[in-house]
Structure 1
Amino acid sequence: MLKAQRTSMWKTRYEISDGDTVVTVWDGNSWSIGGHFELDGHAYRVKANGWGSRYTMTDRHDRVVAEAERVYRKQWKVHAGGRTFEFKRDSVWRGGDEQLMDGDTVVGTVKRTSTWRGEFAADLPGLPPAVQVFVLGVVLTNYNAQAAAAA
């Protein structure tokens, strides 16, 4: 299970850990939607379209590794490694909580665990590690954009 903890109240930077070990840092972009991270010696960049409804993760050679579509919708998808992963927002009242679906069965989650400290947890079995961080980064970016719009 991955856990994301905001490192500063002023930046959209999160330490992402697996247990007690920090595996990467999600560094959200200040002037555009998306961010970047490095995992296992590989650098990834995440960009969104102008509406933030479609995200693309590329490696350092600008090859597309994963794509997310319809992100602001109740149901959205991630395409990676020739597979499609379907997500569904848990509830309109629990902003930021997403469920990884296999048909009608919930097989994983991304949940906000602390509003005040800006913490999230992701349990996404079956997804490659970089794609897990990508999904978590998309959820973090979406949550921060909604929070900024509400302020």
Structure 2
Amino acid sequence: MLTAERMSMWRGRYQMKADGRPVAVWDPSWWRTGGDFEVDGRRFSVRANGWGTKYRMLDESGEEVARVERAGRKHWTVVAEGRTYEFRRGSIWGKQQDLVAGGLKVGSLRRTGAWSGDVEADLPGMSLPVQICVVGVQIAVWQSQQTAAAAG
């Protein structure tokens, strides 16, 4: 189980914990949608395209590790580690995203607090860096949706 706990209301940084053990800090980008993190001494960057629907996770050498497509949509995918992971929004309110395989729910990520923005994820089969990428992208999508709703 991976959890993301907001560290401050002002900055948007999240402490990532795997089974209760701190493993990384998701540090959102100031200028572009996405963020950066480090796991076991390896640095990763996650950046969105101009519309915020596609994200790429790159390692420190600039190699693509994962790609998220159709982020924020009802159905979206993550391509990483030679596999394609499929997600679907669990409800119309968008507080939960389900990881599906063969039409069956096999995992999920969900917002655990409406005000805190904390997230809990059960994403079996994914490496820890890819799990952090998926949670970070979902945090960015939710924040973007909140900003748009507040402006509208």
Does TM, scored on the shorter chain, surpass 0.5? yes
- Aligned-partner SS, 1:107: strand
CA-based RMSD of the aligned residues comes to: 0.9
Letter in 2 for 1:55: Y
Q: Is the 8 A contact 1:122 1:136 kept in 2?
A: yes
Partners of 1:96 and 1:25 lie apart in 2 by: 22
1:19 is displaced (CA, Å) by 2.7
The alignment partner of 1:99 has SS state of strand
Report how far residue 42 of structure 1 moved.
0.6
d(CA) in 2 for partners of 1:48 and 1:110?
20
Whole-angstrom CA distance in 1 between matches of 2:55 and 2:72: 11
Aligned to 2:70: 70
SS in 2 for 1:140: helix
**Counterparts of 2:70 and 2:20 in 1: how far apart (Å)?**
33
User: How far did 1:102 drift?
Assistant: 0.3
Q: Which residue of 2 aligns with 1:107?
A: 106
> Taking every aligned residue pair, what percent have the same amino acid on both sides?
46
Paired positions, count: 150
Runs of 4+ that moved beyond 3 A: none
CA distance in 1, matches of 2:83, 2:20: 30
1:7-22 aligned at under 5 Å gives the runs 7-22=7-22
Q: How far is 1:30 from its partner?
A: 2.0
CA positional deviation for 1:82: 1.1
Aligned position for 2:25:
25
Write the deviation string for residues 24-69 of structure 1: whole angstroms up to 9, x where unpaired.
0001112210001001111000000000000000000000000010
2-side partners of 1:75 and 1:118: how far apart?
22
Q: Tell me the distance in 1 between the aligned counterparts of 2:95 and 2:34.
A: 16
Listed as ranges, the gaps of 5+ residues in structure 2 are: none
